[in-house]
Amino acid sequence: MRKNYEKPVISILSGTSEGIYAASGSSGTLNVVYSGVWDRWTSGGKGLAQVSWDKINGTITLTVTLNDSIDDAETNDATVQKTISGRTVTFTFASTATNPLTLGFHLNHNTSIDNLKIESFDYSVT
């Protein structure tokens, strides 16, 4: 899956409120590729993904949604912050972080790691 960031367009329409409303960000691309099983253990295992980006400057917030509840997540860069909520993991990191960035998704609730898949991802840059 590859998503391209599109810079916002400013339009002026008569009859609208004063002000400019625009999102900040930078041009570039970010891609997440799920490789499959990284490790397995009795109660589950770990899925492996890689994130790579190009021409992005700033803080990246990447939200990954998987098809199963995630018990833990890891990266190969200690500066990356993570938040886990059910099937969704949000990673926040500087564009200067390790690129490509390795992601590990842990299942520890007696479910098959072989069935783990990334359903979607989205990102923003600030």
C-alpha to C-alpha distances, 12 to 7, 8, 21, 116, nearest whole angstrom: 16, 13, 10, 46
At 103 the pLDDT is 98
Q: Does pLDDT of 13 surpass 50? A: no
Q: For domain 27-125, is the CATH number 1.10.3720.10?
A: no
**pLDDT, the chain, mean:** 87
Query: What is the spatial distance between Cα 60 and Cα 76, in angstroms, rounded to a whole number?
Result: 16
Q: Does pLDDT of 8 surpass 80? A: no
pLDDT, tens digit (0-9, with 9 covering 90-100), for 22-62: 344 447 999 999 999 999 999 999 999 999 999 999 999 99
Q: Is the pTM of this model over 0.85?
A: no
Query: What is the spatial distance between Cα 121 and Cα 20, in angstroms, rounded to a whole number?
Result: 29
